[in-house]
Amino acid sequence: MGGLLDGIRVIELSHVMAAPTCGLHLSDMGADVIKVERLPDGDTVRRNGPFVGGESAGFAMMNRGKRGVALDLRSGGGRAILRRLADQADVFIENYRRGAMEHYGVGWESVRGTNPRLVYCTVSGYGATGPLAGQGGFDLVAQGMSGLMSITGEGPGRPPVKVGAPVTDITAGTLAAMGILGALVARGRTGEGQYVDTSLYEAGIMHTYWQSAIFLNSGEVPAAMGSAHPMMAPYQAFPTADGWINVGSANQGLWLKLVELLGAPELADDERFAEPPQRIENLDRLVDVLTPLFRAKSTAEWQALLDGAGIPAGPVYDVAEMAADPQTRARGMIRETETREGSAMRVLGHPVKYSAAETPVRRPSPALGEHNREVLLEFGYDGAEIDAFEESGAIGGE
């Protein structure tokens, strides 16, 4: 089986995480993703540890499967190469500040004139329009401004808490990949490319679906609830004798099963907890009642009992426990590649499975400028021209 995007050529002028996440998804689906880095230093993530065989594990995570070109975009030669790459690509991805692409000679309005089939994607902090369009984007700031930090944490009156993962970066990159795929489908009908624009800010807002539904239609401003849910209960983590377990009694039938399992059938007749609205209204008291019951057994014991009763539940893992779980392995979510010196580098796999396409890790992450010559030959430069670019410093690398 081949890849879903075999034959699609992607130029990814990117750094850090949002656009690299987008390119990672497309590469996993079979696209030829060429990561373009700016000389002299390339992507700043290259200098972030931990290191395996002298290579950044973080950089490998986001950039395995891609080829690498390194250009001095301060030079005319470097900008000319970038323009040729864009003119012959199917997809162009970038996540630099507004105006940078125009400065480098590859702005959307310019490139669409010479490559009308190009799908051109910008991933930014706040989007290409609006009063904040010119500002750079950072996950922490986007989580705060999108409302996400106001609903994350222990509860009202506690300090704001960010989601532990850079969720707006990762989500923006995933949304960008989704938008690109939609634009490629549309191109198949019309023959024309288009501009795709998403942001960290919108990615954060998207994660407030439930809370925004509450506010926009009731005027109530939702607050942080720890691991609890704003619309259903009990639907949260409870302490056990040796850890924590998430319990998802998300409807009335599951609630009635749960109280029987807990040995507290009288709770079914307690007017404070009779129906979902009452359980939400009295959530603090509900948690006080249920917590000592869950503390009576271990996580594994509760997991077995809850599974047997058909009540959704699962342990609260740390990352090491997640990586060791047989389900993680069965789904191919831990893959192995190599550093250039031959050391094993472990990375995460593609999170979607297909019946008629494969998503292998096709190659390790590239060294800075590793594929300069290979790529430039494919884009029509001859050996003498490439030698001249090397001598002038328009291309370079490790």
Residues serving a catalytic function are: 169
Check if the beta carbon of residue 58 is closer than 8 Å to that of residue 45: yes
- The amino acid present at 32, given as its one-letter code, is D
> 18 forms bridges with which residues in the sheet?
none
Sorted by sequence, the CB contacts under 8 Å of residue 210 that are 6+ apart come out as 222, 229, 230, 231
CA distances from 106 to 93, 112, 226 (A): 11, 9, 45
For tokens 């323009």, the residue is 83
- State the Cα–Cα distance between residues 188 and 194, nearest whole angstrom: 12
CA dihedral for 221, 227, 229, 232, sign (positive or negative): negative
23-61 residues labelled b (16+ CB within 10 A) or e (exposed): bbbbbbbbbbbbbbbbbeebbebbeeeebbeebbbbbbb
Residue 336 is classified by DSSP as: E
Q: Give the angle 381-385-396 at the CA atoms, nearest 5°.
A: 95
> How does strand 119-124 pair with strand 195-199?
parallel
